[in-house]
Amino acid sequence: MEKYVLSIDQGTTSSRAVLFNKQGELIHSAQSEFKQFYPQSGWVEHNPSEIWGSVLSVIAAVLTESGTKETQIDSIGITNQRETTIVWNRHTGKPIYPAIVWQSRQTQPIVNELKRQNLEQWFQDKTGLLLDPYFSGTKVKWILDQVEGAREQAENGELLFGTVDSWLIWNLTAGKVHVTDYTNASRTLLYNIFELQWDAEICEMLQVPMAMLPEVKSSSEIYGKTDKSTFFGQEIPIAGIAGDQQAALFGQNCTEKGMAKNTYGTGCFLLMNTGEKAVKSSNGLLTTIAWGIDGKVSYALEGSVFVAGSAVQWLRDGLRMLKTAADSETYAKRVPSTDGVYVVPAFVGLGTPYWDSDARGAIFGLTRGTEKEHFVRATLESLAYQTKDVLDCMEQDSGIEIDMLRADGGAVSNDFLMQFQSDILQKNVELARLNETTALGAAFLAGLATGFWNSIEDVCNLSSVQKEYSPQMEKATTDELYGGWKKAVAATRHFK
């Protein structure tokens, strides 16, 4: 019977299970959304038990719907929303607080205090990250500070911390395995990405007992097997882990230095492989671990755009200008330009390279002639401009010219957006055959560990390009358009 790798893609709004065959083809996938909790302004939380339940349900669905038997699964790869923080009791397996999601801002006061002590450079030199509530470290501290008795329990070794990969593996193995991988560790603000170990000084500074931390493993090895008591009824190796953006980088075959991908989802995450060298940024990019395979760690530079596809959702659900996200393409193509309109979707501040959490969205250049079409087009263009902001910094920091950008994520089906992206960057933009590159990356990592696939070269050969966009606009025109965007961003940041 044909064997498959099962990929679990645990994202911010939904969990998916995807089956891949030896040719890297998608056999079947199942998806389940779960509840978002917003207990206070700027806070975002999930129920860890609901996350686990949603993962079990999509695994069951993908097997049943495709008629696949558990014995046909070679291995499991896990990829996950990163930074999201869960603390649970090692004896009962019960979380002591909801999962604090990466987007959540409740640790801003802790971050402000660290900044006041001028510790930003100190943290960056160890972790490659900036001081921002985005990362896990201050979230763990917050839970231990806020939940009664938690710090004492943590000091007694009763509590465990994990990102979502750790939480899922703990549950899949019925509490036997507490691990994470380099990529997830590199997003915690507790891990020294240069020394490749948890940083004792940082843990002391944030009062996080090191006994809570998972063991950090490579991104491709057998960490443990599913426990028979879970519904699998048998022991399947869990053999790959990577944070979702790193998994997409791997699934897009960006395995060589200088290769870059951008994922256009709720936000945009642009990552460039910088090889064995960790490049420090002076432009607000993050230095992070791309993956660790066979004892070799590769690094990446990353830029995050907080609002991308969610700006299209805003047009659809907030302003009711669109029936579907895909309609945005039809409207944008009806006009030859935005007629000078710029939308800066700084709804939750601005990420790379500005890191301005106080900025809020703005619209410029309205005239009596402005129509819905211009407005929709300007919103889509903002995704491309924000990507250029990040990519320019990346080239500057790394000294590497990116010759082509690989794109994936929900919004790449928008033909207008992809063409405009290529125009604004004056670079080719390439769409992979399969848009499920995140799940594919995790599957590759798992299958490489078990011998389902033999080498990185082998998995690279399984990919092909679906579509390529090349610049159609004159550089002088795009320079002028981008100049207008820069002015719009500056004005937005001025208005506070």
Ligand X SMILES: O=P(O)(O)OC[C@H](O)CO
Q: Which is nearer to ligand X, 124 or 310 (CB)?
A: 310
Binding partner selected for residue 326 from ligand ADP, ligand X, none, CB under the kind-specific 5 to 8 Å limit: ligand ADP
**Cβ distance 185 to 179 under 8 Å?**
no
**Cβ distance 71 to 54 under 8 Å?**
no
Near ligand X by CB under 6 A: residue from 138, 266, 352, 382: 266
Near ligand X by CB under 6 A: residue from 4, 34, 102, 135: 102
Nearest to 189 by CA among 94, 244, 110: 110
Tell whether 396 is in a known binding site.
Answer: no
Under the phi-then-psi rule, with left for phi > 0, alpha for psi from -120 to 50, and beta for the rest, what region is 296? beta
Q: Is 265 in the site for ligand ADP (CB under 6 A)?
A: yes
Tell whether 266 is in a known binding site.
Answer: yes
Vertex 298: Cα angle to 429 and 450 (nearest 5)? 95
Near ligand X by CB under 6 A: residue from 82, 139, 141, 217: 82
Tell whether 16 is in a known binding site.
Answer: yes
Under the phi-then-psi rule, with left for phi > 0, alpha for psi from -120 to 50, and beta for the rest, what region is 182? alpha
Closest CB 245 distance from ligand X, rounded Å: 5
Q: Which is nearer to ligand ADP, 88 or 134 (CB)?
A: 134
Q: Is 11 in the site for ligand ADP (CB under 6 A)?
A: yes
Near ligand ADP by CB under 6 A: residue from 72, 108, 230, 310: 310
Binding partner selected for residue 100 from ligand ADP, ligand X, none, CB under the kind-specific 5 to 8 Å limit: none
Tell whether 414 is in a known binding site.
Answer: yes
Task: Show the site string, 326-355: x = touches ligand ADP by CB under 6 A, - = not.
Answer: x-xx--------------------------
**Cβ distance 259 to 273 under 8 Å?**
yes
Q: Is 436 in the site for ligand X (CB under 6 A)?
A: no
Q: Classify residue 494 by its DSSP letter.
A: H
Tell whether 134 is in a known binding site.
Answer: yes
Binding partner selected for residue 83 from ligand X, ligand ADP, none, CB under the kind-specific 5 to 8 Å limit: ligand X
Q: Is 309 in the site for ligand ADP (CB under 6 A)?
A: yes
Record the tokens describing residue 340, joined without a space: 């000078």
* Burial group, residue 1, by CB count within 10 angstroms (0-12, 13-18, 19+): exposed
Half-sphere exposure at residue 230, Cβ-oriented, CA atoms within 13 angstroms: 24
Binding partner selected for residue 81 from ligand X, ligand ADP, none, CB under the kind-specific 5 to 8 Å limit: ligand X
Cα–Cα distance for residue pair 392/156, rounded to 1 Å: 48
**Cβ distance 35 to 51 under 8 Å?**
no
* Burial group, residue 251, by CB count within 10 angstroms (0-12, 13-18, 19+): buried
Please list the residues that pair with 453 across neighbouring strands: none
Cα–Cα distance for residue pair 175/83, rounded to 1 Å: 21
Nearest to 392 by CA among 358, 349, 354, 363: 354
Give the other-Cβ count within 10 Å of 16's Cβ: 22
Q: How far separated are the first and last CA of the chain, in Å rounded?
A: 63
Q: Which is nearer to ligand X, 180 or 492 (CB)?
A: 180
Q: Classify residue 214 by its DSSP letter.
A: P
Tell whether 262 is in a known binding site.
Answer: no
Q: Which is nearer to ligand X, 96 or 242 (CB)?
A: 242
Near ligand X by CB under 6 A: residue from 29, 68, 75, 81: 81
Question: Footprint of ligand X on residues 236-255 (CB under 6 A)?
Answer: 243-245
The enclosing H or E element of 459 equals helix 456-460
Closest CB 457 distance from ligand X, rounded Å: 27
The enclosing H or E element of 116 equals helix 108-116
Binding partner selected for residue 414 from ligand X, ligand ADP, none, CB under the kind-specific 5 to 8 Å limit: ligand ADP
Vertex 226: Cα angle to 448 and 188 (nearest 5)? 70
Record the tokens describing residue 35, joined without a space: 């509840």
Q: Which is nearer to ligand ADP, 329 or 389 (CB)?
A: 329
Q: Is 313 in the site for ligand ADP (CB under 6 A)?
A: yes
Near ligand ADP by CB under 6 A: residue from 13, 64, 207, 461: 13
Tell whether 163 is in a known binding site.
Answer: no
Look up tokens 């998995």; give the residue.
Answer: 459
Tell whether 331 is in a known binding site.
Answer: no
Tell whether 13 is in a known binding site.
Answer: yes
Q: Which is nearer to ligand X, 218 or 245 (CB)?
A: 245
Tell whether 244 is in a known binding site.
Answer: yes
Near ligand ADP by CB under 6 A: residue from 129, 154, 241, 312: 312
Tell whether 82 is in a known binding site.
Answer: yes
Q: Which residues bind ligand X (CB under 6 A)?
A: 11-12, 81-83, 102, 243-245, 265-266
Annotated binding site: 12-14, 16, 82-83, 134, 244-245, 266, 309, 313, 410, 414
Interface ranges with ligand ADP (CB under 6 A): 11, 13, 265-266, 309-310, 312-313, 325-326, 328-329, 409-411, 413-414
